[in-house]
Amino acid sequence: MIYKKITSKFKYQMQTAKMRWDKKYTKKTVEAVPNNRCCGCGGCKNVCPVDAITMEEDVCGFLVPRVNQEKCIHCGLCLKKCPVIDKHKETEEKPKVYAVWAPEEIRKKSSSGGMFSLLAEQVLEDEGVVFGAAFNENWEVAHKFIEDSSQLRELQGAKYVQSDIGLSYRQVKQFLMQGRAVLFSGCPCQVAALKSYLGKAYDNLLTVDLVCHGVPSPMVFRKYVEEMYGKENLESFAFRTKEKGYSCTVLQVKLKGKEVCYPSLKDKDPYEKAFHGSYALRKACENCKFALIPRQGDITIGDYWGISDYDKSLSDGKGTSVVLVTSKKGEEIFEKLKDKAQMVQATPLEAATRKNRFGVHVPLPEQREEFLKAVAEEGFLKTAKHYFGD
């Protein structure tokens, strides 16, 4: 009897909520956000209370939300928590900026100066949890968490593919509710989505956003790997290596039973051409609202491109991290760990913004959508040869 009363009450509440939603929003869901604005952050999927939203590839290979209308209760949370709609910023407009070198053994394994590893190791030492992007068993890039420094290598290094966030925001909240320290690293849009999902600040959460050029289509990378190498033949894959010098355009690929392959700087790998030529980027990246200052995270990290123009002594050819400390929480942890770095040097913000993307418009080629659809239909290598030549 009690169960029936509770059930009836719940149904009444749901019906009332649905009526209010229908009246105000005419049943709009997150699918109402156009693809050219959707950043694919997965916040709507995580926040949906009835799991009515899945992230599926569109014709260009980007993950976008799809709503199961039979399961949808029209609560409106997907739109309310969408970071494209819900503008959420609580960081400094004039952050403190530093050039950082981690110790040599860390920098060798890192894409730039190793700042992420310093932050991650600090949180792991405090028995915390670190979230970041990693390759899975199918050589797809997806977010995961680690709890031990022995796993840190999986999260190190650049990933020139948009990561599948999965249910990471829910996992972050679970750890936070348990009182665990959590470091969440990701693109600015993903950090914004996490904050919107959580809805409040947590003292035990540290957010780290990346200086992002834009995110390429996972479909393009998947077809590239399958056609270029065969994913079953891959033993290791790194978007960047320092064994041939410090650059953002040197891939390191190791196939089973074969030597390491280094595509040259002069004749770039076709995937590098698609990425750096912006042919594979998401439409929303063109005028990204999350790349601006103020930033989304407590700390922003990336390559300090152009640092030698400001001070040549801060660029030794082994990688320098640009670090923007944008909140009190970020400042506290930075002060705690900066003595562990090989070098920390304060720099003006102007030096950091000169050659890094902080709100700069990224023009996309007119043939971008045509290129992406051709990859989906004709394959990557054939399309890349047509657009980029041999």
Residue 8 has pLDDT above 60, yes or no: no
pLDDT of the residue at 1: 44
* Spatial CA neighbour of 85 closest among 240, 201, 225, 193: 193
Helices of type H across the chain: 2-25, 43-47, 77-80, 104-107, 115-125, 168-177, 188-198, 218-228, 270-276, 307-310, 328-337, 349-353, 368-378, 380-388
Q: With beta carbons less than 8 A apart as the criterion, state whether 316 and 285 touch.
A: no
Q: With beta carbons less than 8 A apart as the criterion, state whether 299 and 92 touch.
A: no
Please, what is the average pLDDT of the chain?
Answer: 89
Q: What is the mean pLDDT of residues 302-306?
A: 94
Question: For tokens 């909240």, what's the residue?
Answer: 173
Q: Give CA angle at 275 (271, 279), nearest 5°.
A: 105
CA distances from 192 to 113, 114, 196 (A): 24, 23, 6
Question: For tokens 């004709």, what's the residue?
Answer: 378
Q: Concatenated DSSP letters for 124-169? A: HHTT-EEEEEEE-TTS-EEEEEE-SGGGGGGT-S---S--B-TTHH
Q: What is the mean pLDDT of residues 122-129?
A: 96
Distance from C-alpha of 7 to C-alpha of 297, rounded to nearest angstrom:
42
pLDDT of the residue at 249: 67
88-92, 115-119, 213-217, 235-239: range with lowest mean pLDDT: 88-92
Q: 3-state DSSP helix/strand/coil percent for the chain, to nearest 5? A: 40, 20, 45
Residue 360 has pLDDT above 50, yes or no: yes
pLDDT of the residue at 108: 87
Residue 17 has pLDDT above 90, yes or no: no
Residue 125 has pLDDT above 70, yes or no: yes
pLDDT digits (tens, 9 = 90+) for 318-341: 999 999 999 999 999 999 999 999
pLDDT digits (tens, 9 = 90+) for 199-229: 999 999 999 999 998 999 999 999 999 999 9
Distance from C-alpha of 168 to C-alpha of 166, rounded to nearest angstrom:
6
Backbone angles phi, psi at 308, to 5 degrees: -65, -25
Q: 183 pairs with which residues across the strands?
A: 130, 206
For the chain, give the number of residues: 390
Residue 10 has pLDDT above 60, yes or no: no
pLDDT of the residue at 257: 87
Q: What is the mean pLDDT of residues 57-68?
A: 96
39-53, 60-74, 182-196, 257-271: range with lowest mean pLDDT: 257-271
pLDDT digits (tens, 9 = 90+) for 133-159: 999 999 999 999 999 999 999 999 899
Residue 116 has pLDDT above 90, yes or no: yes
pLDDT-derived band at 267, boundaries 50, 70, 90? low
Rg (CA), the chain: 22
pLDDT of the residue at 23: 42
pLDDT digits (tens, 9 = 90+) for 178-203: 999 999 999 999 999 999 999 999 99
